[in-house]
Structures are given as structure tokens and as C-alpha cells.
Chains A and B, each alone.
Chain A
Amino acid sequence: MGSRGGAATGTRKNLGETLVEVVITVVIIGITVTALISGLATAATSGAAHRESVSADAVMRNLAESAKAASDSCVLGGRYSITYLPPTGYTTSVSPGGGVCPAPSSTTLLQLQVTTPSGAHQTMQVRVRTP
């Protein structure tokens, strides 16, 4: 009887422990998986933003080179205009977008802006001169 009583007591002590462990485990795993999915979503969003930013950088460089190329054909007293067709979804602006070629001993400061499909802006300045 003593032996049986001990066994019965041990089993009673363990009653519910496994259930509590499983519940705690499920809660922990649930929180962890939620956090992981959230992290993956953030990484994906960040990756898309990064890709867009790098593309905007390329657009900005192409725009700057177009501006410099336009001024390369300048002659004294002449005029120049900057033309650049950005990729779909991107918009660009140059201020001033053209005009009278700079005087030989001076430069013209241009303000370039690129707007990405998501609405983010990048700005940069370049100088152009008459060759």
C-alpha cells in the first residue's frame, strides 16, 4: 500500500504540469513566430526601399550627366537646355533647367531633384560651365 500510495502521490503531483508547460511553450512560440514574421516583413519593406533608393541614385547620376552634357555644347552667348527622360515612376527636375550659357569665367549652379515612385526625394547640386 505504501508503495502504491507513493506512486499515486507522485502522479498527482505531476498532474497538470505538462499542460502548463505546453501552454507556456505555445505562447512563447506564438510570440516568437509573430516577431519573426514581423521581422521578415520589415526586411522585405526595407529591401524594397533600398532598391528604390539605389535606382534613384542611378537616375540622379544620369540626370547630372545629362546636365553636364547639355552644357558641353555651350558656346559663348548661346543657350542650352537639359533633356532627360527618367524611368517609369520616377520624376526629375532641374533648376534652372537651361538658359543662357554661363560666362566663360563663371559657372552655373544647378539644383537637381529626383522623386521616387514612393514619393521620396533626393537632391544634389552640380556646376556647369561653357567649355
Chain B
Amino acid sequence: MTRTSRTDRPVRGDRGATLIIAIGFVVMIGAIAAGLSSLVVSAMGDRFILAELRDRQYAADGAIELAVAHVRSLDAAHGGTCSAPPGHIVDVLNEQSIRVDWKHSCTSVRGGDGVVVQQRNATFVACPDTGAACTPSTAVISAQINFQQSTAGVVTHTYVQTWSVTG
């Protein structure tokens, strides 16, 4: 009886051990594979986010350029940029709908010759179009443009005073 027990116990104790080790190995490799898959999916997601961000920024850039040209054309109709009312446009570029709000930011400055002249400036804020006015939290680009005018009131040149990409 004693000899029989000694013979049987080790054999029964080892049964299935190799399979358990294999299953453990499979679980470990599975975890590594899951981590790899997650990495690949995350990288792809980041890539799309990066491309979308770039498209949105350049859509906002283009929309502000369009708004500047529009305000420039308003100038003649209202006798000067500072006289034209605030407004907004909506532009679609790179499959992004962008709203641009503008308002005047005119100041009086004394020139080198001592003559006080009015600087004709306007600020522009571009944001994704939601039907509401742009706010600082939704702004993608904020810019201030100076409109140089001749004595006849015609804009001869525009200067970018500030151009901030915030979104």
C-alpha cells in the first residue's frame, strides 16, 4: 500500500502542470498583444487629431484673410474702416465651418510730425461655427489688423499687428 501511494502521488501532482504554464504564457502574450494594439490605435487616433487640428487652424487662417478682404471692401462704402459696423462672416474651408467676428479697434496716435492721426485697426476672432459669436474660449485665431489709408480714404495696405493661434 505504501509503495503504491509513493508511485501514484507524484504522477497525479504533475498532471496538467504543463498546460497551466502554457495558458499562463498565452495570457501574458495576450496582454502584450493588447498593449501593442492599444499603442497602434492610439497612434492612429493622434495622427487624425493632428491632421484635423492643422486643417482647422488653416481654415481659421483663411477665414480671417477673407474677413480682412471683406472689411477692406466695406471701407469704401462706410467712409473708413472705423465707420463700418462690426459684423461676421462664415467660411467653409478644409471641411471646417469657421465663423469670424470683427469689430473696430481704432486709436488716435501722434505722428512724428506732431500731427494726431487716427489708426484704423480692426480685431478679428475666428472660431468653429456654432451659430453663436466667438468667445475667447472658442477662438482658434485672434488677430488685429491695421488698415493704412490714403488721404482719399482708400486702403492702400494692411498690416498684421497681432496674430495669435490659440486653438
**Residues of A near any B CB (own CB < 8 A):** 3-4, 6-7, 10-11, 14, 17-18, 21-22, 24-25, 28-29, 32-33, 35-36, 39-40, 42-43, 46-47, 50, 53-54, 57, 60-61, 64, 68, 102, 104-107, 109, 122, 124-129, 131
- Give 1 or 0 for each of B35-51: 1 = CB within 8 Å of chain A CB: 01101100110110011
C-alpha spacing A96/B23, complex, angstroms? 62
Closest to B17 in A: A21
For the side of the interface on B, what is the size category? Answer: 35 or more
Q: Is the Cβ of B21 less than 8 Å from the Cβ of A25? A: yes
| A10 x B8 contact (CB < 8 A) | yes
- Beyond A46-B43, A105-B69, A105-B72, is A54–B36 a contact (Cβ under 8 Å)? no
B 17-43 to A, binary, CB cutoff 8 A, 1 in contact else 0: 011011101100110110011011001
- Bound Cα distance from A54 to B36, whole angstroms: 20
Q: Beyond A10-B8, A102-B69, list 8 extra A-B contacts (CB 8 Å).
A: A3-B4, A7-B4, A21-B16, A25-B22, A36-B32, A68-B61, A124-B54, A125-B59
Q: Does residue B78 face the partner (Cβ distance < 8 Å to A)?
A: no
Q: Which residues of A contact B66 (CB under 8 A)?
A: 107, 127, 129
Please report which residues of chain B, range 53-78, place their CB below 8 angstroms from some CB of chain A when the two chains form the complex: 54-55, 58-59, 61-63, 65-66, 68-70, 72-73
Chain A residues whose C-beta falls within 8 Å of the C-beta of B25 in the assembled complex: 28-29, 32
Prevailing SS type, chain A contact patch: helix
Q: Across the two chains, which residue of chain A brings its CB closest to B2?
A: A3
CB contact between B7 and one of A11, A33, A105, A125 (< 8 Å): that residue = A11
Determine whether the beta carbon of A33 is less than 8 Å from that of B29. yes
Interchain CB contact under 8 A, B22 and A104 = no
Tell me if B152 counts as interface (CB < 8 A to partner A): no
Measured between C-beta atoms, what is the minimum distance from A108 to chain B in Å? 10
- Asked if residues B15 and A29 are in contact (CB atoms below 8 Å), the reply is no
Measured CB to CB, the closest approach of chain A to B164, in angstroms, equals 16
Whether B36 lies near A57 (C-beta < 8 A) is no
B16 CB to nearest A CB, Å: 7
User: For B51, what are the chain A residues with a Cβ–Cβ distance below 8 Å?
Assistant: 53, 57, 122
